Amino acid sequence: MRITLVAMPWHACDIPSLAISILHSRIQLTRPSDDVADYYGNLRWAEFLVSASEGVLTPQVYAGIAEDGFEHGLGDWVFSAALYDDPEFGYDELRDYAAERGVDIEAAVACRAYAAEFIEAAAEEILAGDPEVIGFTSTFMQNVATLAVARRIKRLRPECVLILGGANCDGAMGHALHRNHRFLDYVVRGEGELVLPQLLDHVERGKAPEDLPGVCWWDGDRSVCNPAPTRIVPPAAIPSPLFDDWERALEDSPVRGHVQPKLVLEGARGCWWGEKHQCTFCGLNGSFIQFRSKAPDVLWEELSTLVTKHRLLDVVMVDNIIDMNYLPGLLPLLRDQDWDLRIHYEVKSNLRPDQVEQLAAAGVAHIQPGIESLNSRVLRIMDKGVDGCQNVRILREAENNDVTVSWNYLYGFPGETDDDYGPVIEQLPALVHLQPPGAASRISLERFSPYFEDPGLGFPARVPARFYGYTYDLPVAELHDLAYMFDCADAGIEGEVVDRLHASIAGWAGGYPASSLVQREYGDGGLLIEDRRAGWPAADHLLTGREAQAYRLLERGRTTEYLAKALGHAGLDGFLGRLLDRGLIFRDDGRHVALATRNVPIRGALL
C-alpha cells in the first residue's frame, strides 16, 4: 500500500517527528512492500506563513506560538477557523480570555488569516502522492491542524483511509476524537509500534479491527472503542527512527536557514521513579508509566549511526527520565569519541556531583532535572523523592560543569502553606549565582496525573481548560474526554506570598548573568570564597581548619548533628548561622548545603 505519515503544525521546525520516523521504520520492517512517505506539514506551514505574509510571520513567530502557546491553546485556535469553515470561530471568546489574562494573541490572529488556505494546499499536496492510507500523529497542539486537514482530505478523496494516533489519543481522549470526527476512520489509542502494522493488514484485507487493542473504528455510524492494550511495547519492537524524509524536507525548505536542526532519539519510555511514586502533578507518561529502555549498546549504535548519517551534533533525548544504566553503559562511549555533541536529557535531580561530571563529559550540555521546588515539605507532597538541598546541589554542580539546567518553580500543591515558601524566598538572593528557573508557575491539572485520577488528593472539581471552549465546537461533556489540561480551584499558596515568589525569581533571573560565588583552595587546607554576586557586597571569605573542613562536608546536604559528629565538635550553630548570614549555604528541612562553585560558566545571551 501507499502510506503517507503526516506531522502537522505546531510540531517544532528544528526536529523530526519521532513518532512518524519510528512508525515509518516499523512499517518498512513489518510490511516491506508498502511504499511509505512522510509529510512535514509543520515545515510547509512555516514556509506558507513567511511567503503569504511577505516575510512578516517568520519561523521565529511560528516557534513563539509552538513553544509558548500551549497553555492557552493558541496554536489549535489558529486552525479551528479552518476546521469549522468559520473565520470568526472562537474569536470573541479568545479576545476576552486574552484581555483577562494578559495574553498576547496578535501573532496567532495574524497566522489564522492564512490557515484555511494552507489547509487546502496541504490536503492537495498530501493527496498528490496518491496515498491509500494516511497516518497522522498528534501531540500537544497538533490536534486541530490535523483534524482540519483530515476533514478536507476526506472530502476530496473519501476512499482514502485516515488513521490518527499519538499522545493526544491516549486513554479517553482517543475515543472522543474518533466519535466526534466522522472523517477519521481509525484512531489508535496508546503506543503504535505493534498495532499499526496489524491495522494496516486489516485495512488491506477489508477486515474490521474488532480484535485490535486500543483501536477506535466505525461500525456503521457507531464509533467502537476497543479496550486499551494491556501489553506495553517492548524496546525490541521500537526500531531506530528513519529521518531521511525529514532531512530532505528541511534541506529543501527556506526554513532551514532559521533553525538549528537537531536529532530526536528515544532510549527509554515510562518513568522508573513514577512506577513506584508518581509525581502527583505529572501526566506526561499517559496511560503507560512502566519503565523500559533499550540496552546501552543498542542506543549507542542508533545514536552514532544517525549522527554520522545526518551530520548533526545536537541531540534531544525525549526520555522522561534517563536510564541510570546509561551512565556506566552509554556515557563513556560518547565521551571517548572526539565529537562535540550537545545533548539534552531529562534526569532525576538527585544526581551526585560525579554523575553530573560524567554527563557533561559525554556531551550532555543541557539537562532538565525536574527540580520543581526547593522546599522538602512541598517536594514530599508531590512525592518527588528528593529534598530541597539535593535540588540546590544539582544547580551548583551544573554550574561546576558548564551544564545548562531547564527548570521551573512550581507552586499550588494541596496542603502546602506560606511557611513552606517564606524561608525559601528569603534565601533566594543567595542563589543568584546559580541558574534561575525559567518561571514560577502554578501547577496545571493534567490528565493521567495522580491529582487528576484521584479527586480526593485535592482537586475535587475540574472542568476542561477554558481554551478548549474557544477551540472546539463540542459540548463540555465531550471536551471532558478530549482534554488533557483542566481548570480547577487553586490549591496551596495564594496572594502576597505568590507575588513575593514571582518577584524574587525575577530578581534572580536579572542578577544571574553578572553573579559568581567561587571557592578556591587556599594555603594549607583552607578555602577562599570570592563573593561577586548581584545584591551582595563584594567580599572574600576565608575559611580555615575545621571551618573549611565543615564547608567541604556541606557539599552534600547535611544536618547539624551529622556535621558535629563528623567533626567531633558540637556547638556549630554560630558557624552555620554566619554562613547563612553571608549566603554561603542554603538551609532547608534541617539540612545545609554549600553554595560556592568551583567554576563560573561562560554566560550567554540568547541570540
Partner 1 sequence: MIELGSDPAGTVRALATLRDHAAAGAEVRWSGRVDPGLPIAALRHLPPPDTLQGCAPGELDDWRRIHGYGICYYRVGPGFLQIKDYRDPANRFQLTVDDPRLTEAFLRLLEPAPLAELTAVTRRAVRVLAESNLVLVWQGHAVTLPPRLRRWPVPCQSI
Pick the binder of partner 1 from 88, 219, 338, 496 (CB under 8 A). 338
Residue 567 amino acid letter? L
CA distances for 600 relative to 290, 520, 541, angstroms: 39, 12, 17
- Is 402 a binder of partner 1 (CB under 8 A)? yes
Nearer Cβ to partner 1 (259/550): 259
Cell of 442: 502554578
Query: Strand order of the sheet with strand 539-543?
Result: 516-522, 526-532, 539-543
Radius of gyration of the chain from its Cα atoms, rounded to whole angstroms? 26
Burial of residue 31 (CB within 10 Å: 0-12, 13-18, 19+) is middle
Q: Choose between 88 and 340: whose C-beta lies nearer to partner 1.
A: 340
Q: Dihedral of CA 535/592/280/435: which sign?
A: positive
73: closest CA among 42, 57, 56, 97? 97
d(CA 402, CA 601): 5
Q: With contacts defined by CB under 8 A, name the span among 308-316, 413-421, 523-531, 576-584 that binds partner 1.
A: 308-316
How would you write 331-354 as a 3-class SS string? HHHHHHCCCCCEEEEECCCCCCHH
Work out whether 602 is an interface residue with partner 1 (CB under 8 A).
yes
Determine the Cα–Cα distance for residues 250 and 339; give it in Å rounded to an integer. Answer: 23
β-pairing, 440-442 vs 2-7, is unpaired
Q: Pick between residue 104 and residue 402 the one whose CB is nearest to partner 1.
A: 402
Q: Which of 147, 347, 403, 497 binds partner 1 (CB under 8 A)?
A: 403
CB of 358 to partner 1, least distance (A): 16
Q: Which of 235, 288, 233, 240 is nearest to 265 (CA)?
A: 240
Among 236, 339, 566, 569, binds partner 1 (CB under 8 A): 339
In this structure, the number of other CB atoms found within 10 A of the CB of residue 32 comes to 7
d(CA 163, CA 292): 27
Q: Is 183 in the site for partner 1 (CB under 8 A)?
A: no
Residue type, 320: N
Q: Assess 307 for contact with partner 1 (CB under 8 A).
A: yes
User: Which range of residues in 17-25, 219-227, 311-319, 515-523 is near partner 1 by CB under 8 A?
Assistant: 311-319
Q: Which is nearer to partner 1, 353 or 601 (CB)?
A: 601
606 binds partner 1 (CB under 8 A): yes
185-214 residues near partner 1, rule: CB under 8 A: none
Which string of x and - marks every residue 240-269 that binds partner 1 (by CB under 8 A)? -----------------x--x---------
Report the C-alpha gap between 44 and 305 in whole angstroms.
28
DSSP-based three-state secondary structure for 296: helix
Distance in Å, CB of 367 to partner 1, minimum: 10
- Based on CB atoms, which residue is closest to partner 1, 163 or 303? 303
Among 88, 340, 496, 524, indicate the residue that binds partner 1 (CB under 8 A): 340
Binding pattern for the stretch 535-574 against partner 1, x by CB under 8 A and - elsewhere: ----------------------------------------
313 binds partner 1 (CB under 8 A): yes
Shortest reach from residue 352's CB to partner 1, in Å: 20
* Near partner 1 by CB under 8 A: residue from 28, 404, 408, 544: 404
Enter the DSSP assignment of 70.
Answer: G
Between 276 and 603, CB nearer to partner 1: 603
434 secondary structure, DSSP code: S
Considering the complex, state which of residue 291 and residue 508 has its C-beta at the smaller distance from partner 1.
Answer: 508
| Among residues 158, 220, 574, 604, the one that binds partner 1 under rule CB under 8 A | 604
User: Is residue 494 within the footprint of partner 1 (CB under 8 A)?
Assistant: no
- Residue 435 interacts with partner 1 (CB under 8 A): yes or no: yes
| 601 interacts with partner 1 by CB under 8 A | yes
Helix axes 573-581, 560-567, angle to 10 degrees: 120
- How far is residue 368's CA from residue 10's CA, in Å, rounded to a whole number? 22
CB of 20 to partner 1, least distance (A): 24
Question: C-beta of 329: minimal distance to partner 1 in Å?
Answer: 20
Nearer to partner 1, 571 or 604 (CB): 604
Task: Report whether 216 contacts 253 (CB < 8 A).
Answer: no
Q: Of 30, 53, 198, 304, which one interacts with partner 1 (CB under 8 A)?
A: 304
Q: Which residue stretch of 24-32, 286-294, 398-406, 487-495 sits at the interface with partner 1 (rule: CB under 8 A)?
A: 398-406
Compute CA distances 509 → 102, 133, 385, 399, whole Å: 21, 49, 27, 15
Secondary structure class of 5 (helix, strand, coil): strand
Give least dist CB 521 to partner 1, A: 20
Contact pick of 461, 489, 538, 605 for partner 1 (by CB under 8 A): 605
What three-state secondary structure class fits 140?
helix
Shortest Å, Cβ 404 to partner 1: 4
Q: Which of 311, 495, 524, 537 binds partner 1 (CB under 8 A)?
A: 311
Residue type at 240? Answer: S
Using CB under 8 A as the binding criterion, the count of chain residues that bind partner 1 stands at 28
Nearer to partner 1, 128 or 607 (CB): 607
CA 354 to chain centre: 25
445 forms beta bridges with: 486
Distance of CA 505 to CAs 114, 427, 436, 480, 600, Å?
38, 11, 7, 34, 20
Rounded to whole angstroms, the Cα distance separating 435 from 472 reads 39
- Residue closer to partner 1 (CB basis): 338 or 524: 338
Within 355-394, the residues that bind partner 1 by CB under 8 A are 365-366
Please, what is the minimum distance in Å from the beta carbon of residue 248 to partner 1?
Answer: 15
Verify binding: residue 489, partner 1, rule CB under 8 A. Answer: no
- How near is the Cβ of 438 to partner 1 at its closest, in Å? 10
Query: What gap in Å lies between CA 334 and CA 322, rounded to an integer?
Result: 15
Least spacing, CB of residue 340 vs partner 1, in Å: 4
- Of 125-133, 179-187, 305-313, 419-427, the window that binds partner 1 (rule: CB under 8 A) is 305-313
Residue number, 38 or 314, with CB nearest to partner 1: 314
What sign for the dihedral angle of Cα 471, 473, 477, 478? Answer: negative
d(Cα 352, Cα 345) in Å, to the nearest integer? 16
Tell me the C-alpha distance between 313 and 329, whole Å. 20
**Residues 399, 416, 531, 588: which binds partner 1 (CB under 8 A)?**
399
Question: Where do contacts with partner 1 occur on this chain (CB under 8 A)?
Answer: 257, 260, 304, 307-308, 311-313, 337-340, 342, 365-366, 398-399, 402-404, 435, 601-607
